[in-house]
A and B are shown apart, each in its own frame.
Chain A
């Protein structure tokens, strides 16, 4: 599929169809690498509206898969980090326990596998990525 270190920058809300393309791209990339001698790195960054992807309280009807749960499973299967910009997450009511305490918010709702990070981490990911794909 690819031999380049790749960064997926995901900006879209999980309700948009393109958000599913991002997930499928990541899954295909990781499956391809697992069956290959090449070991390019895949990194992910959720920014803006994509921060909603990490909301564990997003309810989904039974006839639809949960994109949040699929990302969590992918993270478990491949030890994939799922960083979300902390500022965009908090703005949208997505928080981990640490930030909930710091900002006096009632409860945490960050889905398993996701983590809140500063925007500087994205800049560092840019520095090592040979290929950037934006969704």
Chain B
């Protein structure tokens, strides 16, 4: 099943629970794509946050880089996180279509 998980709630707990679901479903063979809104960038920047640690390990779960909105805030975040995080995030594709996913979850 192809699943898009959007992280929009700016709390450490909500981002952790959304990311934990992503990693678990990917472990069971589902195609998972994460999308981070700019509202959670503050949490992503904190090295002690679970979101920070889990995003760093996306490739270990065969999850592609998390999508970021294509705006000035995303450009800024690339320079604010260490390279092991920045290589796990990417701009959202221009041809993004949420209808291509069988499920969309928001946290």
Contacts and interface: CB of A to CB of B under 8 A. Distances in A.
Number of chain A interface residues as a range: 10 to 19
B13 A91 contact: yes
Contact of B103 (A11, A88, A123, A134): A134
Given A126-B25, A132-B103, A134-B103, A119 B20 contact: yes
A48 interface: yes
Interface in A112-133: 119-120, 122-124, 126-127, 132
Contact of B28 (A9, A11, A123, A134): A123
A11 B8 CA distance: 14
A32 interface: no
B71 to A, nearest CB: 27
B105 A123 contact: no
A47 interface: yes
A123 B25 contact: yes
A123 to B, nearest CB: 4
A126 B26 CA distance: 12
A11 B105 contact: yes
Given A47-B17, A123-B30, A126-B30, A134 B105 contact: yes
B24 interface: yes
Contacts of A99: none
A79 B93 CA distance: 45
A87 interface: yes
Nearest to A51: B17
The 9 closest A-B pairs by CB, nearest first: A123-B28, A119-B24, A48-B17, A123-B24, A123-B25, A132-B103, A88-B17, A126-B1, A134-B105
Interface of B: 1, 13-14, 17, 20-21, 24-25, 27-28, 30, 102-103, 105, 107
Given A47-B21, A119-B21, A122-B21, 19 more contacts: A9-B105, A11-B107, A47-B17, A48-B14, A48-B107, A88-B17, A91-B13, A119-B20, A119-B24, A120-B24, A123-B24, A123-B27, A123-B28, A123-B30, A126-B25, A127-B28, A132-B1, A132-B102, A134-B103
